[in-house]
Amino acid sequence: MSNNNYTHQAVNPSEDHCDNTSGHISESAPSCAFVTAAGLGTRLRPYTLDTPKPLVAVKGRPILDYILDDLEKAQVKTVVINTHYMAEKIEDFFATQSRPDMEFILIHEEELLDTGGGIRQGLPYFKGAPFYAVSSDSLWTNSHTDALTRMAQSWDSKKMDLLLLLQPTNNMHSEDTVGDYDFTTAPPLSPIIRSKSGKGSHMWTSVRICTPSLFDDTPAAQPFSFLQMMDKAEAAGRLYGIEHDAQWFHISTKGDLENLNRNSEETKLFCQMAK
């Protein structure tokens, strides 16, 4: 079934795509999201030799499909996606999506712009409004309140430029667990500081709420890392974290994917979400 709400880099950014005031979970809930989908997925080979990482299957469905489920549950209306590697396959995926309440805007990168430069290309569609940003190698389960809704309910633009969803390192399912951050006060919500040693108490899930103004003074159409935005927010005292209260799966390596797809404890946890 085709979806007429799919556009390939042709939507006029002057249109009001992100209206955070109508029919949302809260007045602060973002109505737009950016999904990073341009990467080469080299660490997931051989699975990414003929499939872009966002479309690699977990329990029979593309990773991207699960992410869209969560964005739809959070009442996101507009999703901007960057593409590069095997872009035509991602275009085909969105052309056949049946999500009538969501609009998809694809931005193709002829040359990779890295995690920060890619997101910057989508800012004109957000009209200065805070937005979700999610990497296409992250999957998560939800507790009583889904993770994105918890984040929206915690978002405070008066004191935050960036809110990161963080997973305790003692509750991880990944071959590459890194302690990225520490809370400055007791979780679940507080300012956070980056652990330069990688031995912090929490790992970043690559799920976040971000204000577009954080990208002020960054170069257009040039590659740069999103880590610069995180450090900038931290230096200004405007970087916050919220502790995830369920499971998170980082599908970064061949081993991560295979462990999640076989009959394991991780699979059982994930299937609770997929039902």
Please state whether beta strands 248-250 and 138-140 pair in parallel, antiparallel, or not at all (unpaired): antiparallel
185 within some domain:
yes
Contact 85, 39 (CB under 8 A): yes
| Rounded-to-integer distance, Cα 32 and Cα 270, Å | 26
pLDDT digits (tens, 9 = 90+) for 210-242: 999 999 999 999 999 999 999 999 999 999 999
For residue 67, the domain's CATH number is 3.90.550.10
Contact 140, 116 (CB under 8 A): no
Count how many domains the chain has.
Answer: 1
Asked if residue 133 has pLDDT above 60, the reply is: yes
Mean pLDDT is lowest, of 136-140, 184-188, 269-273, for 269-273
126 within some domain:
yes
**pLDDT band for position 270 (cuts 50, 70, 90):** low
| Rounded-to-integer distance, Cα 95 and Cα 83, Å | 14
- Domain range for 245: 6-274
Once rounded to an integer, what is the mean pLDDT over residues 200-218?
A: 95
pLDDT digits (tens, 9 = 90+) for 66-81: 999 999 999 999 999 9
| Rounded-to-integer distance, Cα 8 and Cα 188, Å | 38
